[in-house]
């Protein structure tokens, strides 16, 4: 690990109303930029610059994930080639990113030769710094080899933080000492370090957290979540802007809880199924060769300060529009939830959008989920991982009720 970049520059927090508007399931690399404390993003390969809205950009960085160098089975027998394509797109950006973040599973079997290939490909990347966190495939034996290459200045099993132009970045490790039947795990030592790391930061400091396995419960039946992830998040709720970037599930999914935005990126190697849509989370094998790059795409996700919704624009390596399913949606209008009862499958995400001229709060009767007060055109999303019947209401106008049936 090279010495983290550190600058002293004042920024405001991202507006609490900022959120990711929808869920897509394609993506290999995301370009993030900060402008005045506002996190924006666009896909690698998008023609519009990060500051297309007319605002200056303080800095830009790129997230890539799940290279799985060494994997050589369907649907992608040449993962090095698609990894190189992602790097080529980074190099084609009008302005080089300040740095790249790789959110884990660089290798497939933790072999030195696989790490050598990763290093060789990334050597051509036009950036001054690359930050890493391990995936479970990078530490199949222990963390020694990974840390010697990528985490020399890190703490414990590879966690660390750094500051860049007023933004505080935190790299976490949740792929070590995993328990039977459990999910990702941070552990008490790392959690205590995290608590201390942010203790003296101003609440206006923008926070970006990155780790391999999602910190939130995407789909626990497939191990897509972190057992103690919410404890980590509890240390961050006081900040005005928190963005959590993960990999592992090889698809883009987004969730918003108040001022905290969760985002997962797809792989550069192979696609995986949407939660609960297959017998397991393994690679989608029956992808025709001419369709592979249409499933290894990239997405634009833009933060815009104020009440503007965030746009998610999906593109693919093949240059064709990606196939994607829309999230189930509940409209709030005229003091009514429509539809009043919505039936979905486990793993699907429901989005509520307020079309009323007054605020509403979506609250689960059994306290399993709750939104912030939603002003006009604001949205709230929640992923339902378990089958069951979930009754909810508006805690401001309690006569408004609705039901989500998951089966």
Q: Are 287 and 397 in the same domain?
A: no
The yes-or-no verdict on residue 194 having pLDDT over 90 is yes
Question: Which of the residue ranges 2-6, 112-116, 189-193, 241-245 would you say has the lowest mean pLDDT?
Answer: 2-6
Q: Are 308 and 246 in the same domain?
A: yes
Residues 6+ apart with CB under 8 A from 393: 363, 365, 400, 401, 402
The CATH number of residue 308's host domain is 3.60.21.10
Distance CA 182, CA 89 (A): 37
The number of distinct structural domains making up the chain is 2
Partnered with residue 347 across adjacent β-strands are none
The yes-or-no verdict on residue 57 having pLDDT over 60 is no
Q: Are 143 and 274 in the same domain?
A: yes
The yes-or-no verdict on residue 324 having pLDDT over 70 is no
- Identify whether the C-beta of residue 55 lies closer than 8 Å to the C-beta of residue 35: yes
> What Cα–Cα distance (Å) separates residue 226 from each residue in 113, 161, 277?
30, 20, 21
| CA nearest neighbour of 351 among 376, 326, 381 | 381
The yes-or-no verdict on residue 403 having pLDDT over 80 is yes
Q: Are 311 and 340 in the same domain?
A: no
Q: What's the mean pLDDT in 348-375?
A: 91
Residue 75: cis peptide before it, omega within 30 degrees of 0: yes
Q: Are 221 and 353 in the same domain?
A: no
Buried b / exposed e along 225-244 (16+ C-beta atoms within 10 A): bbbbbeebbebbeebbbbbb
The yes-or-no verdict on residue 15 having pLDDT over 70 is no
The predicted pLDDT at position 284 comes to 93
Q: What's the mean pLDDT in 183-190?
A: 97
The predicted pLDDT at position 97 comes to 84
Q: What's the mean pLDDT in 274-292?
A: 87
The predicted pLDDT at position 4 comes to 33
Q: What's the mean pLDDT in 184-201?
A: 98
The yes-or-no verdict on residue 27 having pLDDT over 70 is no
Question: Which of the residue ranges 12-16, 182-186, 214-218 would you say has the lowest mean pLDDT?
Answer: 12-16
The CATH number of residue 387's host domain is 2.60.40.420
Q: Are 344 and 308 in the same domain?
A: no
Q: Are 264 and 355 in the same domain?
A: no
């Amino acid at each position: 690990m090279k010495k983290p970049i550190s600058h002293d520059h004042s920024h405001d927090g991202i507006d609490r109303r900022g959120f990711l508007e929808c869920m897509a399931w394609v993506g290999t690399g995301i370009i993030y930029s900060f402008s005045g404390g506002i996190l924006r993003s666009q896909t690698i390969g998008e023609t519009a610059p990060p500051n297309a809205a007319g605002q200056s950009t303080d800095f830009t960085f790129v997230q890539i994930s799940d290279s799985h160098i060494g994997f050589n089975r369907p649907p992608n027998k040449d993962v090095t080639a698609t990894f190189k394509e992602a790097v080529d797109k980074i190099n084609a950006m009008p302005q080089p990113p300040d740095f790249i973040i790789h959110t884990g599973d660089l290798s497939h079997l933790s072999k030195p030769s696989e790490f050598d290939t990763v290093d060789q490909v990334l050597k051509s990347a036009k950036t001054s710094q690359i930050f890493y966190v391990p995936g479970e495939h990078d530490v199949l034996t222990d963390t020694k080899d990974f840390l010697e290459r990528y985490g020399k200045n890190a703490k414990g099993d590879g966690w660390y933080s750094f500051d860049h132009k007023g933004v505080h970045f935190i790299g976490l490790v949740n792929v070590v000492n995993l328990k039977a039947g459990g999910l990702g795990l941070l552990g008490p030592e790392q959690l205590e370090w995290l608590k201390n790391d942010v203790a003296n930061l101003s609440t206006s400091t923008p926070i970006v957290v990155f780790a391999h396995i999602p910190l939130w419960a995407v789909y626990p039946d497939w191990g897509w979540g972190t057992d103690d992830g919410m404890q980590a998040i509890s240390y961050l709720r006081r900040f005005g802007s928190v963005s959590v970037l993960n990999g592992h599930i090889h698809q883009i999914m987004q969730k918003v809880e108040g001022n905290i935005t969760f985002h997962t990126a797809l792989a550069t190697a192979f696609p995986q199924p949407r939660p609960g849509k297959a017998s397991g989370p393994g690679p989608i094998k029956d992808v025709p060769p001419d369709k592979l790059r249409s499933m290894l795409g990239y997405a634009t996700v833009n933060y815009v300060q104020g009440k503007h919704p965030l746009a998610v624009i999906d593109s693919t390596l093949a240059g064709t529009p990606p196939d994607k399913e829309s999230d189930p949606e509940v409209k709030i209008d005229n003091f009514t939830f429509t539809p009043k009862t919505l039936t979905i499958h486990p793993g699907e995400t429901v989005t509520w959008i307020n079309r009323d001229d007054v605020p509403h709060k979506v609250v689960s009767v059994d306290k399993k989920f709750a939104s912030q007060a939603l002003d006009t055109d604001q949205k709230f999303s929640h992923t339902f991982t378990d089958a069951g019947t979930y009754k909810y209401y508006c805690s401001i106008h309690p006569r408004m009720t609705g039901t989500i049936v998951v089966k």
